[in-house]
A and B are shown apart, each in its own frame.
Chain A
Amino acid sequence: METEELLINMGPVHPSTHGVLRFKLRMDGEIIKECTVVMGYLHRGTEKLAEMKTYLQFIPYTDRLDYISAMPNNYAYVKAVEELAGIEVPLRAEYIRVLTVELNRIVNHLVFMGSLLLDLGASTAIMYGFREREKALQLYEMLCGARMTFSYFRIGGVRDDLPDDFMSKLNEFIKDMEKRIEDYKGLINGNEIFMMRMKGIGVISAEEAINYGMTGPSLRGSGVNYDIRKIEPYSIYPDLDFKACVRPECDSYARYMVRIDEMEESLHILRQIADTIPKSEVVATQKYGIAPLTGMPYTAQTYFPRIFIPPAGEAYSRIEAPKGELGFYVVSDGTTKPYRVKIRSPSFCNLTAIPKMVVGLKIPDLIAAFGTIDVVLGDVDR
């Protein structure tokens, strides 16, 4: 019988690519022989924009990288600048930062769960995920007035202190989420169809995952116990009790389970923070640098300075974002604007492994495997 290889185009506008991403697939019947990823449809030149903005002005642009979880983006950027300038952040601000980031991890994984199940054809989960997400977004709205693009972090702290009734609302959310996660586990984890679609699909071994530069839950699903919060602790993470969630199976199901486990760990962290958050300032009170007009050093202010000049130098700083290692490489030439900002986005680097992962699978499995990598195209294309 005569056979022929078929070239199939998937995307850029396709519901299960979570944005605008294009796959070029070389098919042998139903089996994928080769997968080429074409991206850049959402490229906005964020790194170039950074060179034209002051250090403070760039914070809102980081929100728009990974718009599902904007707090970690804010955090990674200000952390890099703080490292460059050697700024000490007050303890309460660190607690608030970790609180917002961990809350965002839950939000991110809820969206992950919902959209993954939606891709597989189960449309209920996204309703559940978005129902809980809404409560978290209302918390964020109390905090900074925004629901997705927060711009809440500032160099040396956070913008505002927590509102008065925030903690009681947060406790309500935690109590609610505990029950909900049990629901998800009962509904999804043991579902036979779900397991058939996920188990043994999109397998990538630990060595390969490391070699491809995968990080975050996608790497931990391959059995590598690597969580930046644990092995390169920053902020208040050394004082918190939590564990890095690891699964040894290397397949899509493991990557899904890691994220469900992580939601529980994040809730556990939130509970600890709610109990122990100290009272102090929320922006750094040390001097920030030299004022450009007067030549006088900035001293303790009630508010952060509008113009901020770190010393010349460069720093790479990374955090454990919900999707993996998010890093900012910031080069300062001693002026008000960064000389160069390089964004190491977890989505981009995790996506590198997809062409390797999906060879020999069918197209619906590509969608399942791609869903468990959890990319956001704003983060891939920048």
Chain B
Amino acid sequence: MNAAEELKQALPASVVSTGMQVEKPLVLVKKEDLLEVAAKVKEMGFDHLSVVTGVDYVDRFEVIYNFFSYGKKENLVLKVVLDHEAPEVGSLTSLWKGADWLERETYDLVGVRFTGHPNLTRILLPEGWKGHPLRKDYDMSVEQFVTIGEDGEDIVSTDGSNLLRRK
């Protein structure tokens, strides 16, 4: 029995389906129950959260968590499907501290909100940036200009008014 089936047996109400993703057990989880499932996953020995990926499928968002267990040397993939209007899912920062920046990055670039995250701010792009670049409907024709202000914080504008030498 692989880890995905084990998880399904333990929490049958929270698991939508199980499968494989190129030799790695994959579990599709109900988004409301993610935290509960993740706690169980950690209890099962998956102590390494490898990566958090957000994908925009135009009609929905998917957030994918890749886990690894140092003890059992096994992989596990969790996946949640979020609706496109208001993508929101629970944050895993209370279980894995490493999730902090990975979730911030997913929020920054894909625009998925992680509820319960202690500091959900942009990480790679400056605060004030418009839009989330990795969304498929992101408008790349709009130029955005970034400068560093007097207090060291970033200033973003779309007309270049913050630049010393205007366009």
Task: Name A's B-contacting residues (CB within 8 A).
Answer: 9, 22, 24, 39-40, 43, 45, 47-48, 83-84, 208, 210-215, 224, 226, 231-232, 313-318, 325, 327, 329, 331, 339-340, 342, 344, 348-349, 351-352, 356, 381-382
Q: Is the CB of B70 within 8 A of A210?
A: yes
Nearest A residue to B99, CB-CB? A213
Q: Is the CB of A40 within 8 A of B123?
A: yes
The one of B22, B55, B77, B105 that contacts A84, using a Cβ cutoff of 8 Å: B22
The one of B24, B70, B100, B125 that contacts A40, using a Cβ cutoff of 8 Å: B125
Chain A residue contacts of B97, Cβ below 8 A = 208, 211-213, 352, 356
Given contacts A39-B124, A40-B122, 15 further A-B contacts (CB under 8 A): A40-B123, A47-B134, A83-B22, A210-B47, A211-B97, A316-B21, A325-B50, A327-B51, A340-B56, A342-B53, A344-B51, A349-B101, A349-B102, A351-B101, A352-B98
Chain A residue contacts of B99, Cβ below 8 A = 213
A340–B70 Cα distance when bound, in Å, is 28
A60–B125 Cα distance when bound, in Å, is 23
Q: Select the residue from B50, B56, B102 with max chain A CB neighbours within 10 A.
A: B50
Q: Is the CB of A48 within 8 A of B21?
A: no
Chain A residue contacts of B47, Cβ below 8 A = 210-211
A313–B70 Cα distance when bound, in Å, is 27
Chain B residue contacts of A356, Cβ below 8 A = 97
A325–B96 Cα distance when bound, in Å, is 17
Would you list 10 pairs from A and B whose C-beta atoms are within 8 A, ordered by A residue?
A22-B152, A45-B133, A47-B109, A211-B47, A213-B98, A316-B24, A318-B50, A327-B50, A329-B53, A349-B102
The 10 closest A-B pairs by CB, nearest first: A213-B98, A344-B51, A40-B124, A342-B53, A43-B124, A315-B22, A329-B53, A340-B55, A212-B98, A212-B97
Chain A residue contacts of B18, Cβ below 8 A = none
What is the 8 Å Cβ interface bit string for chain B, positions 46-67, against chain A (1 contact, 0 not)? Answer: 0111110101100000001010
Task: Name B's A-contacting residues (CB within 8 A).
Answer: 21-22, 24, 47-51, 53, 55-56, 64, 66, 70, 73, 77, 96-102, 105, 109, 122-126, 133-134, 138, 152
A48–B56 Cα distance when bound, in Å, is 12
CB distance from A102 to the nearest CB of B (A): 23
CB distance from A377 to the nearest CB of B (A): 11
Q: Is the CB of B101 within 8 A of A348?
A: yes
Nearest A residue to B53, CB-CB? A342
Chain A residue contacts of B55, Cβ below 8 A = 331, 339-340
Q: Is the CB of B66 within 8 A of A329?
A: yes
CB distance from B129 to the nearest CB of A (A): 10
Chain B residue contacts of A39, Cβ below 8 A = 123-124
A382–B33 Cα distance when bound, in Å, is 32
Nearest A residue to B55, CB-CB? A340
CB distance from B149 to the nearest CB of A (A): 13
Chain A residue contacts of B98, Cβ below 8 A = 211-214, 349, 352
Q: Is the CB of B73 within 8 A of A231?
A: yes
Chain A residue contacts of B105, Cβ below 8 A = 348
CB distance from A73 to the nearest CB of B (A): 15
The one of B49, B100, B134 that contacts A48, using a Cβ cutoff of 8 Å: B134
Question: Assuming A211-B47, A212-B97, A348-B101, is B73 touching A232 (CB within 8 A)?
Answer: yes
Chain A residue contacts of B125, Cβ below 8 A = 40, 43
Question: Assuming A9-B152, A331-B55, is B22 touching A213 (CB within 8 A)?
Answer: no
A313–B138 Cα distance when bound, in Å, is 23
Q: Is the CB of A352 within 8 A of B100?
A: yes
Nearest A residue to B151, CB-CB? A9
Q: Select the residue from B70, B101, B124 with max chain A CB neighbours within 10 A.
A: B124
A47–B56 Cα distance when bound, in Å, is 13
Q: Is the CB of B73 within 8 A of A316?
A: no
A24–B152 Cα distance when bound, in Å, is 10
A348–B106 Cα distance when bound, in Å, is 13
Chain B residue contacts of A43, Cβ below 8 A = 124-125
The one of B21, B56, B126 that contacts A315, using a Cβ cutoff of 8 Å: B21
CB distance from B30 to the nearest CB of A (A): 20
Chain A residue contacts of B126, Cβ below 8 A = 40
CB distance from A233 to the nearest CB of B (A): 11
